[in-house]
C-alpha cells in the first residue's frame, strides 16, 4: 500500500506536469498562416511557396504555415490553377480549413496573385474558422483586362489562354473551364461581365448585395493589398489595390475610392477604409518580386 506522502508526491507531479504543459501551450501564441499560390504555381515549389513557407517559419518560430494544395498531387495543383472552376476551388479550400484542427482559433491568410482574390472569396463565404488578416500580394480584385505576359515557365499555356479570353471570355464553356476567364473584366462590356462572370462578379457584389459577404469581409482585422509598381503581368495594375478601368472604355483608370462599389459601399470596403482596416502597400518590382528585407519590414508585422 502506498503511503500518503508518496501519493501526494505522485499527484503533485501530475499537477506540475499539467502546469508545465499548459504554459508551453499558452506560450504558443503565434497565429497560423494559410497561403494560396498564383497561376501556374503550386503549394510546394521550393523556389516560390516553399521558400515563403520556410522564410515565415524562420521569422516566426513555432508558427503553423499551411500552403494550400488544390487537388491530390502537385501536378494537379498546378493544372487546377488554370482549369478548375474557381467557385469549386474556394469550396474545396473552405472544407479543408474547417477540418484542420490547427486553425480552430483563427488564422491569417496570404494570397499570391490570383490567390489573393481567391482567399478574399474564402473570407466572404466561409467565416469559420475566422480569417483574421488577409494579405493580398499582387491580387486582382477587380479582375484583369489583359494578360500581357505570363509568370514562370507557363508561357505556352498562357498564349493559348490569351486566345480563349480574347475570343469569348464570357461564353459558358470558357467561364466554366478557364480560371482566368472567371476574373476577366471587360470594361467595354460591363453588362456581359456582370451577368456572365461566374466568380468575380459574384464576390464583388455586381449582381446583388449579399449582406453575408459584407459582414464576413468586415470581420477581418485588416485587409492588406500589395501593388507592384513595375508589374508587367497584371493589366491594369490598379486592380491590385481594388481599382480598375473606368466603365465603358479601356484607357483611364479609377481608384477603389472612386468606384461605384465603394461609393455605394456594396462590399463594406468604404466602412472598412474609414475604420483603418484597409492597408495599401507597394513594392518597387515586377509581379511578385520583392526582397526578404521588404517582406520582413512590410508584411511580417501583419502576421506576427
Ligand X SMILES: *[C@@H]1O[C@H](CO)[C@@H](O)[C@H](O)[C@H]1NC(C)=O
Active site residues: 113, 231, 287
Cβ at position 202, least distance to ligand X in Å: 8
d(CA 143, CA 190): 12
Residue nearest to ligand X (CB): 62
Q: Is 92 in the site for ligand X (CB under 6 A)?
A: no
Q: Give the strand order in the sheet containing 107-112.
A: 65-67, 33-36, 107-112, 131-137, 222-228, 278-283
Q: Is 64 in the site for ligand X (CB under 6 A)?
A: yes
Which run of H or of E encompasses 25? Answer: helix 4-27
Q: Output 15 or 212, the one with its CB closest to ligand X.
A: 212
Q: Determine how many CB atoms are found less than 10 A away from the CB of residue 142.
A: 26
Q: Of the candidates 37, 53, 120, 125, which one interacts with ligand X according to CB under 6 A?
A: 125
Q: Coil, helix or strand for 109?
A: strand
Q: How far apart are the first and last CA of the chain?
A: 53
> With CB under 6 A as the contact rule, which of the stretches 80-88, 146-154, 204-212, 242-250 interacts with ligand X?
204-212
Q: Is 7 in the site for ligand X (CB under 6 A)?
A: no
Q: Determine how many CB atoms are found less than 10 A away from the CB of residue 9.
A: 11
Q: Is 62 in the site for ligand X (CB under 6 A)?
A: yes
Q: Is 210 in the site for ligand X (CB under 6 A)?
A: yes
d(CA 34, CA 210): 25
Q: Is 120 in the site for ligand X (CB under 6 A)?
A: no
Q: Is 294 in the site for ligand X (CB under 6 A)?
A: no
Q: Output 210 or 253, the one with its CB closest to ligand X.
A: 210
Would you tell me which residues interact with ligand X (CB under 6 A)? 28, 62, 64, 102, 125, 208, 210, 212-213
Amino acid at each position: 500500500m502506498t503511503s500518503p506522502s508518496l501519493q501526494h508526491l505522485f499527484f503533485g507531479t501530475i499537477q506540475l506536469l499539467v502546469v508545465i504543459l499548459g504554459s508551453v501551450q499558452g506560450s504558443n501564441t503565434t497565429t497560423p498562416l494559410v497561403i494560396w499560390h498564383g497561376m501556374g504555381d503550386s503549394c510546394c515549389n521550393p523556389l516560390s511557396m516553399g521558400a515563403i513557407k520556410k522564410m515565415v517559419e524562420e521569422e516566426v518560430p513555432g508558427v503553423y504555415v499551411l500552403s494550400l494544395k488544390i487537388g491530390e498531387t502537385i501536378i494537379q495543383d498546378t493544372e487546377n490553377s488554370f482549369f478548375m472552376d474557381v467557385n469549386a476551388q474556394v469550396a474545396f479550400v473552405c472544407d479543408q480549413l474547417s477540418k484542420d484542427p490547427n486553425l480552430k482559433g483563427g488564422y491569417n491568410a496570404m494570397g499570391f496573385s490570383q490567390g489573393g482574390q481567391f482567399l478574399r472569396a474564402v473570407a466572404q463565404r466561409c467565416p469559420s474558422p475566422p480569417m483574421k488578416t488577409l494579405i493580398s500580394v499582387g491580387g486582382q480584385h477587380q479582375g484583369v483586362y489583359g494578360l500581357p505576359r505570363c509568370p514562370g515557365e507557363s508561357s505556352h499555356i498562357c498564349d493559348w489562354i490569351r486566345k480563349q479570353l480574347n475570343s469569348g471570355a464570357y461564353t459558358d464553356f470558357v467561364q466554366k473551364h478557364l480560371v482566368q476567364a472567371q476574373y476577366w473584366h471587360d470594361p467595354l462590356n460591363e453588362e456581359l461581365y456582370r451577368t456572365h462572370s461566374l466568380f468575380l462578379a459574384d464576390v464583388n457584389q455586381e449582381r446583388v448585395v449579399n449582406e453575408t459577404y459584407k459582414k464576413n469581409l468586415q470581420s477581418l482585422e485588416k485587409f492588406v493589398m500589395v501593388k507592384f509598381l513595375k508589374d508587367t503581368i497584371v493589366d491594369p495594375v490598379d486592380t491590385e489595390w481594388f481599382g480598375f478601368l473606368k466603365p465603358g472604355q479601356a484607357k483611364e483608370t479609377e481608384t477603389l475610392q472612386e468606384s461605384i462599389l465603394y461609393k455605394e459601399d456594396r462590399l463594406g470596403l468604404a466602412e472598412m477604409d474609414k475604420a483603418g482596416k484597409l492597408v495599401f502597400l507597394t513594392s518597387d518590382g515586377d509581379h511578385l518580386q520583392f526582397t526578404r528585407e521588404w517582406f520582413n519590414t512590410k508584411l511580417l508585422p501583419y502576421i506576427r
